Structure 1
Amino acid sequence: MIRRAMILAAALWAAAAVAHGPAQAAEAAKVLFGAKPAPADLASRAIGFYSRGCLAGAVAMPVVGPHWQAMRLSRNRNWGHPALIAFLRDLATQAAARDGWPGLLIGDMSQPRGGPMLTGHASHQVGLDADIWLTPMPGRVLSARERENMAPVPLTEPGPHEVDPAVWSEAHLRLIRRAASDPRVERIFVAPGIKKKLCETATGARGWLSKVRPYWGHNYHMHVRLGCPPGAAGCRGQSAPPKGDGCGKELAWWYTAEPYRPAKPGGKKPRPITLADLPDACRAVLAAPARPGALTARQALAE
């Protein structure tokens, strides 16, 4: 009797999965991935592209480390590919030892299974992106409330503005240069004013500046993006940035009116990304059981 009941239950589950397959594929992927509080119990793998993919076997960045602290824990976005975790640990340690930067305040990385997010980013989907605040870490462990409410210090106003000289320091330059000089890094996005300041003050070899790309927002943090890890099948990276330091016409464009013109009224809004839009492997990531013992960011801090 028990065996028959188990067989019947399994059959019903399979039938339900098949029935819901097409409906799930058409549902907004941000809803599906945003509902997963824990990583898939799979081997670590970055799948797809930064703005259209997912993350198998995510690893949590510890919420407190010798030279870093994770912020905005309620978002549960302190997850990444092991390559990203290793990079952040290395950057935090080296910047503290050599660059006069006391520690990293780490913002959004990825969700436990990557994928599109309910709010905020278009990218950060494959576990290879991280937002690092350009506010030095305080010399104490922040409480959960402070991590939610502490405001980052902007270095410039959004748009075509200069860096605030009262906030900027040589340590900012050294931190960004160290991150951009790492061969694992593909790009770093910052506000135009930050890029302009780097162009004006960087000395010596300037090849690393090509990786630092001006972009909308990013006036209080740098968005670091790693390339696909070696041998990562199914991970799609970007082409290399243009040659040169990016301090000429590329930067000058951000100081014209063109980047800030409002969108034409009546334009169509892009439709939400669905599960069907993502690589097929993302269905398995979404359906996989949760890794046993995995803690959300808030739970980890409570430990």
Structure 2
Amino acid sequence: MTPRPFLILIITLIAVVHAADAWAQDKGTVNPKPLPPIADPDDPKIAAKELFGRKVLPAAMPTRVFGFYAHGCIAGAEGLPINGDNWQVMRLSRNRYWGHPDLVALIKRLAARAHRDAGWPGILVGDMSQPRGGPMFTGHASHQVGLDADIWLTPMPNRQLSRNEREEMSAVMMVRGDRLDIDPHNWTPTHLAVIRAAALEPSVQRIFVNAAIKKALCREARGDRHWLHKVRPMYGHDYHFHIRIRCPPGAGECESQPDPNEGEGCSTGDLAYWFSDAVLHPKPPKVPPKPKPPMTMAELPPACKAVLHAPDAKH
């Protein structure tokens, strides 16, 4: 990995994921208000999230991924239909159900497998990316290039949810109150089956879950366990799991992340950090850190400017 993506990855893992998981449970609104126009959108000091967050449709361009998961954008994104045979999209007011066509196709396959292999009516899909990717106002440092998706650990109900339910319904907590293991009242073998189905997809490079969920998967997985190496402990992720796919074949402008180690990651030593007191009960810093300045367009790949200014694709 080049130094720059590595630095971005570290920032993503440590500084942002706590807020992202809490944001996943925040309620939306049935009547979102449009954001006011920006007086001078060409001001180089304007945060890129202000610009990308105002785009409601993808760029009318061929599909291309530019940059890294936490530092980029996507042209020609595809929208996941908000209702499918075995899936429903949540928090529609966020307009984050866009991604690379490969990701959209994967979610559809996973939804079918969750129905077939786990007996779920289907899956509930959380945040993917914005219509043109890029930084978001709230909740994620990654999800910028259309290759990340959050899948709720709550099975889809056997009916179509109302718009109001999609905005206000909360996912079910899968982790015990002491954070040391899963909650046996909510976790079932079907959860393992759904995560396993996602991990067996060849294009999936990583799946992020709470360490307690990783611990349960390690304990309960039977037969071929090779897929466990893709499942990585991560702060938060106790209501949903995060799928990340590789850069698409031939996408030279997409910055890859190295493949995870081949080991299962299930030893006591592998998980010790995540169950340490410093992680489970972090002490507030003596001196609060200064807020990191928001990312500007100058910090994104140059091609993202063309993506931002391209005409809207036909919806």
Q: TM-score, normalised by structure 1?
A: 0.87
Q: CA deviation at 1:101?
A: 2.4
Whether 2:173 is the aligned partner of 1:154: answer yes
**Over the residues paired in the alignment, what is the CA RMSD in angstroms?**
1.5
2:61–2:75 Cα contact (<8 Å) kept: yes
Structure 2: gaps (5+ residues): 1-39
Q: CA deviation at 1:160?
A: 3.4
2-structure distance, mates of 1:159, 1:208: 27
The residue number in structure 1 matching 2:219 is: 200
The residue number in structure 2 matching 1:277 is: 299
The residue number in structure 1 matching 2:273 is: 253
**Aligned partner of residue 105 in structure 1, secondary structure:** strand
The residue number in structure 2 matching 1:186 is: 205
2:209–2:236 Cα contact (<8 Å) kept: yes
Deviation string, structure 1 residues 200-254 (Cα, Å, up to 9, x no partner): 1111121111111111111010000001111112011211112210112221211
Whether 2:183 is the aligned partner of 1:164: answer yes
Q: How does 1:52-71 map to 2 (within 5 A)?
A: 52-71=71-90
**Aligned partner of residue 271 in structure 1, secondary structure:** coil
2-structure distance, mates of 1:252, 1:204: 25
1-structure distance, mates of 2:80, 2:309: 23
1-structure distance, mates of 2:138, 2:289: 21
Moved over 3 A (4+): 157-160
The residue number in structure 1 matching 2:30 is: none
2-structure distance, mates of 1:224, 1:182: 10
Alignment length (residue pairs): 273
The residue number in structure 1 matching 2:8 is: none
**Larger of the two Rg values belongs to structure:** 1
2-structure distance, mates of 1:140, 1:20: 43
Shift in CA distance, 38/120, structure 1 to aligned 2, threshold 3 Å? same
Q: CA deviation at 1:20?
A: 6.3
2:41–2:51 Cα contact (<8 Å) kept: no
The residue number in structure 2 matching 1:288 is: 310
1:159–1:191 Cα contact (<8 Å) kept: no
2:225–2:264 Cα contact (<8 Å) kept: yes
Deviation string, structure 1 residues 115-170 (Cα, Å, up to 9, x no partner): 00001011000001000001010011111001001111110158732111111111
**Aligned partner of residue 225 in structure 1, secondary structure:** strand
Q: CA deviation at 1:94?
A: 1.9
2:74–2:146 Cα contact (<8 Å) kept: yes
**Aligned partner of residue 189 in structure 1, secondary structure:** strand
**Aligned partner of residue 138 in structure 2, secondary structure:** coil
Range with greater deviation from structure 2 (220-229 or 264-273) = 264-273
1:159–1:216 Cα contact (<8 Å) kept: no
Shift in CA distance, 113/262, structure 1 to aligned 2, threshold 3 Å? farther
Range with greater deviation from structure 2 (152-161 or 221-230) = 152-161
Q: CA deviation at 1:26?
A: 2.7
Whether 2:217 is the aligned partner of 1:217: answer no
Whether 2:258 is the aligned partner of 1:239: answer yes
2-structure distance, mates of 1:89, 1:176: 14
1:157–1:219 Cα contact (<8 Å) kept: no
